[in-house]
């Protein structure tokens, strides 16, 4: 099939799709814009970005994700609450119903790659019924050249039909929505949700399975950038911790904002774009990301738009707090075009501590780094979910639990080995609260977080003095240019020191309780960090 062909019902027979109407095959951005407008899927904003709504789901449907339990992958999967099994026969039946649904439909196909490193990249095909989902895939994955498109064969395929719904009593799903990964058939099927993030996170799940097993490559839910001296840094963190914000630094080149691999040469991006959370995005605090919201090719998910003036309001959360912008990396001015860089000099582990007891930065030993990597801590704040009345601790294995199909120890041991081998400096950075918990204290200023991260990356903090935190055993720097000294030790920022001690003790207990499940599979010195 030639580049940008629009064909009638042919070319997808290998997937069982034999009677589609029109097939738009890897169409460019301009063609997809035309189709989005023609089909009423979105509106062009006044400066050229396309605004869309995802419908009922404005975030991932975590409870609706399954992995087909088949012999080849059964023994490798860490089955449980996250990696829920799905019977092969039920998958086949559901897929057959999905094929029937596609009869006579217009389909959009993007053939692209996951992985910037040509040695390790995965050829993927994304088949959708929505033109804007096809644009999302075009933004988020690595684009193939016209020459590569002539001969490439997909190694994994995603078929996403948001308007097709499962029947739970028939299909064995939890609801009408489903995201099902089938390693044996090299196929992912998605239905009942318009949230485009399911496309990228499904492929991330695939890479998190294949790369550690087949190539001993550490797959990571992290952003990454590189300095003028070639010093690479990676930033682990869950949504809302500052992973995208802190890695988009005008003085450093961005490798990628969300997913990377670490092989024997260094770090490489899995993606060709960024998927930034943009609620209340500030031009002053995040100028590079802000500018992407005004660019042709950017998708604005669930962002409020005036239908007359076509101006967007980034402060409006009436649709969701999880407003997003999907844009190609080339929308950012200072990027690493190859998507690859050398071994990291520094690892930053980000948390948004709503309890307000973790320091804004702390130096980690290698054992502490593995402990906090496996813990993957952040906190929800009151008001973000029904029933949350006070800060709520969240632990997500390897800062990406929902996307990690293997035993967490596999990822943890790979990280520990690489930290030791390359003598990497590790840091824990809290972008959350200071002076008290959420509702009492205040969010740590982004300027302070940037100053602390910069001091860690340029080596200033390495040669400074430290004091020991008595609760978490962390090394806290006593000084950093641009940050008031009293901010560095969180206990000093609390008016009620006894309340700080009580709150810190409670969070330590939550860490210990969560880590019980890892103790048997990690070295003793890691198990005894707390």
Which residues are marked as active site? 60, 201, 221, 239, 243-244, 258, 324
Per the CB < 8 A criterion, the answer to whether 156 and 124 are in contact is yes
Exposure string (b/e) for 126-158, b if CB count within 10 Å is 16 or more? bbbbbbbbbbbbbbbbbbbeeeebeebebebbb
Q: What are phi and psi of 460, to 5 degrees?
A: -60, -45
What does the block give as tokens for 209? Answer: 């399975």
Per the CB < 8 A criterion, the answer to whether 286 and 303 are in contact is no
The residues, any chain, with a CB within 8 Å of residue 145's CB and separated by 6 or more, are none
What is the H or E stretch that residue 74 is in? helix 71-74
- Can you tell me the distance from the alpha carbon of 445 to that of 285, in angstroms, rounded to the nearest whole number? 10
> What SS3 state is found at 215?
helix
Quick one: CA torsion of 351, 356, 359, 365, rounded to 10 degrees? -50
Angle, nearest 10°, between helix axes 366-375 and 408-422? Answer: 150
For residue 100, give Cα distances in angstroms to 18, 346, 415. 10, 51, 45
- CA–CA–CA angle 78, 354, 198 (5° rounding): 40
φ/ψ bin of 26: left (φ > 0), alpha (ψ from -120 to 50), beta (otherwise): left
Give a three-class secondary structure readout of 328-339: EHHHCCCECCCC
Q: Identify the burial level of 394 via C-beta atoms within 10 angstroms of its C-beta, where 0-12 means exposed, 13-18 middle and 19 or more buried.
A: middle
């Amino acid at each position: 099939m030639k580049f940008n062909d629009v064909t009638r019902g042919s070319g997808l027979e290998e997937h069982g799709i034999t009677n589609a109407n029109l097939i738009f095959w890897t169409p460019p951005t301009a063609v997809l814009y035309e189709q989005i407008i023609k089909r009423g899927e979105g509106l062009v904003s006044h400066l050229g970005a396309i605004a869309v709504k995802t419908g009922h789901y404005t975030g991932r449907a975590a409870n609706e994700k399954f992995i087909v339990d088949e012999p080849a992958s059964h023994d490798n999967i860490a089955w449980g609450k996250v990696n829920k099994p799905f019977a092969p026969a039920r998958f086949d039946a559901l897929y057959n119903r999905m094929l029937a649904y596609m009869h006579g439909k217009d389909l959009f196909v993007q053939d692209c790659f996951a992985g910037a490193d040509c040695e390790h990249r995965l050829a993927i095909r994304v088949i959708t019924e929505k033109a804007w989902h096809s644009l999302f895939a075009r933004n988020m994955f690595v684009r193939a050249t016209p020459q590569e498109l002539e001969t490439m064969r997909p190694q994994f395929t995603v078929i996403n039909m948001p308007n097709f719904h499962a029947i739970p009593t028939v299909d064995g799903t939890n609801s009408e929505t489903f995201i099902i990964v089938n390693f044996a058939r090299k196929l992912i099927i998605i239905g009942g949700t318009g949230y485009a993030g399911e496309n990228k996170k499904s492929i991330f799940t695939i890479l998190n399975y294949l790369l550690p097993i087949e190539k001993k490559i550490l797959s990571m839910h992290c952003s990454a950038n590189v300095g003028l001296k070639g010093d690479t840094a990676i930033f682990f963190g869950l949504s809302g911790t500052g992973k995208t914000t802190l890695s988009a630094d005008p003085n450093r080149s961005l490798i990628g904002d969300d997913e990377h691999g670490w092989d024997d040469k260094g770090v490489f991006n899995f993606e060709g774009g960024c998927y930034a959370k943009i609620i209340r995005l500030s031009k002053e605090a995040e100028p590079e990301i802000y500018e992407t919201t005004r660019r042709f090719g950017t998708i604005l998910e669930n962002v409020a738009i005036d239908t007359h003036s076509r101006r967007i309001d980034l402060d409006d959360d009436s649709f969701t707090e999880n407003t997003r912008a999907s844009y190609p990396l080339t929308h950012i001015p200072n990027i690493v075009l190859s998507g690859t860089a050398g071994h990291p000099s520094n690892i930053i582990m980000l948390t948004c501590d709503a309890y307000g007891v973790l320091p804004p930065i702390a130096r980690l030993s290698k054992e502490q780094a593995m402990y906090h990597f496996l813990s993957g801590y952040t906190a929800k704040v009151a008001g973000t979910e029904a029933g949350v009345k006070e800060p709520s601790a969240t632990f997500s294995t390897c800062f990406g639990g929902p996307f990690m199909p293997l035993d967490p120890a596999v990822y943890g041991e790979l990280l520990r080995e690489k930290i030791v081998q390359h003598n990497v400096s590790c840091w824990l950075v809290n972008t959350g609260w200071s002076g008290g918990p959420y509702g009492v204290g205040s969010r740590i200023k982004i300027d302070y977080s940037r100053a602390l991260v910069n001091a860690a990356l340029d080596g200033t903090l390495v040669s400074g003095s430290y004091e020991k935190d008595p609760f978490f055993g962390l090394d806290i720097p006593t000084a950093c240019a641009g940050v008031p000294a009293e901010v560095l030790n969180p206990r000093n920022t609390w008016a009620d020191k006894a309340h700080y001690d009580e709150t810190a003790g409670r969070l330590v207990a939550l860490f210990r309780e969560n880590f019980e499940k890892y103790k048997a599979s990690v070295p003793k010195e890691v198990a005894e960090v707390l």
